[in-house]
Amino acid sequence: MNTLAKLRLHDLAPEQEDFRTAVLEGLAKPHKSLPCKFFYDDVGSALFDRICELPEYYPTRTEIGILTEAASEIAALAGRGGVLVEYGSGSSLKTRLLLDALAPDVYMPIDISRQHMLGACHALARDYPALHLMAVCADYTRPFTLPRVARGGQRRLAFFPGSSIGNFAPLEALRFLKNVAQQLDPGDGLLIGVDLKKDPAILNAAYNDAAGVTAAFNLNLLARCNRELGADFDPDAFAHRAFYNAAAGRIEMHLDSLRAQTVRVAGQRFAFSAGESIHTENSYKYRPDEFRHLATQAGFAPVQTWTDAADLFGVLYLRRL
């Protein structure tokens, strides 16, 4: 049987934020900044995959360890069968861990990148021949309605791994969680990975790896401007800087200009003083009780929190009220 017959696409044709517009706006601000979502072109996505394997970058392997240990408890809470909804493309090992534990009738990934998501779905369709796949092309940072599926009843478990929630500012995180709550029905679950507050030395090491992969990931944003916008950034004239800002509870990533310089981007000139930075990413860290409070404000009841032995990372099961 052709397993791909079980794959359907629900295309909401999301508007893609234009890279050029975002770069020109971000560099014109008094404190220059660029949105972190633009890290993930092909080069940046490959660098991010390497980050996840780094000895200093504990989140990925720690979350996989928690999910592996908690899989049967998660299945007991969510129930087997039903619909597994993932915010993101589902190309990771974590998705397969849940597919194995929950044996859902339907897997519903949501991603703004149609091609990337369909590639991941084709691989899953081959490996899980009984699974029905409903790929939703949408911008999950904005409100939208999840399609109803005939199979699997309406019971759903939403999954948002990787502490991607940490790349939203707290108010945006609240807005995102409220959107998810609206998309679910009372009694449905949300399983979410959250990077925890900890010794800043561990956090600083995770974003300043010895092999320089995170630096290359950050600097790729300038190379991307050169490739796609005809900019003339000299990547050697900027340096990666990442540090834990304890007052804000977040890692900040910046690209620091190493000298006074002027850069041309899409025909416009931007002046940098020596030491001036472009703020490229925030990665918020939470205490488990802080995150449970946020989830409660969004309309969820915290049911279970799993952490690793060193309390580096948390996975929370929340029930939509």
60 lies in the site for ligand AVI, by CB under 6 A: no
Query: Which of 14, 152, 162, 189: binder of ligand AVI (CB under 6 A)?
Result: 162
**Contact region with ligand AVI (CB under 6 A), list: 11-19, 108-116, 127-135, 163-171:** 163-171
Please give the full DSSP string across 223-286, using - where no structure is assigned: HHHHHHH-----GGGEEEEEEEETTTTEEEEEEEESS-EEEEETTEEEEE-TT-EEEEEEEE-B
Structure-derived torsion over alpha carbons of residues 2, 86, 84, 108, reported in degrees to the nearest 10: -40
What distance in Å separates the CA atoms of residue 257 and residue 264, rounded to the nearest whole number?
14
Beta carbon of residue 39, minimum distance to ligand AVI (angstroms, whole number): 7
Placement of tokens 């069968």 in the chain: 81
What number of chain residues touch ligand AVI (CB under 6 A)? 10
283 lies in the site for ligand AVI, by CB under 6 A: yes
Query: Which of 33, 95, 167, 183: binder of ligand AVI (CB under 6 A)?
Result: 167
Give me the sign of the Cα torsion angle 63, 320, 112, 252.
Answer: negative
**Contact region with ligand AVI (CB under 6 A), list: 69-77, 111-119, 157-165, 168-176:** 157-165
62 lies in the site for ligand AVI, by CB under 6 A: no
**Contact region with ligand AVI (CB under 6 A), list: 24-32, 162-170, 232-240, 292-300:** 162-170
233 lies in the site for ligand AVI, by CB under 6 A: no
First-residue to last-residue Cα distance in the chain:
40
**Contact region with ligand AVI (CB under 6 A), list: 3-11, 86-94, 105-113, 164-172:** 164-172
- Burial of residue 179, with CB atoms counted within 10 A of its CB: 0-12 exposed, 13-18 middle, 19 or more buried: middle
238 lies in the site for ligand AVI, by CB under 6 A: no
Q: Token pair for residue 32? A: 């220059």
Query: Which of 82, 166, 189, 314: binder of ligand AVI (CB under 6 A)?
Result: 166
Pairing type for strands 106-111 and 189-195 reads unpaired
What distance in Å separates the CA atoms of residue 321 and residue 184, rounded to the nearest whole number?
10
Check residue 43 and report its DSSP letter. H
Residue closest to ligand AVI, measured at CB: 283
Written as one letter, the residue type at 321 is: L
Write b or e for each residue in 248-283: b if 16 or more Cβ atoms lie within 10 A of its Cβ, otherwise e.
ebbbbbbbebeeebebebeeeebebeeeebbbbbbb
Beta carbon of residue 81, minimum distance to ligand AVI (angstroms, whole number): 30
Beta carbon of residue 286, minimum distance to ligand AVI (angstroms, whole number): 12
What distance in Å separates the CA atoms of residue 275 and residue 261, rounded to the nearest whole number?
11
Contact 302, 288 (CB under 8 A): no
214 lies in the site for ligand AVI, by CB under 6 A: yes
109 lies in the site for ligand AVI, by CB under 6 A: no
Closest CA to 71 of 276, 253, 304: 304
51 lies in the site for ligand AVI, by CB under 6 A: yes
280 lies in the site for ligand AVI, by CB under 6 A: no
**Contact region with ligand AVI (CB under 6 A), list: 91-99, 158-166, 231-239, 306-314:** 158-166
Beta carbon of residue 166, minimum distance to ligand AVI (angstroms, whole number): 5
Query: Which of 281, 285, 312, 314: binder of ligand AVI (CB under 6 A)?
Result: 281
Beta carbon of residue 214, minimum distance to ligand AVI (angstroms, whole number): 5
Query: Which of 95, 163, 257, 277: binder of ligand AVI (CB under 6 A)?
Result: 163
Residues that bind ligand AVI (CB under 6 A): 51, 162-164, 166-167, 207, 214, 281, 283
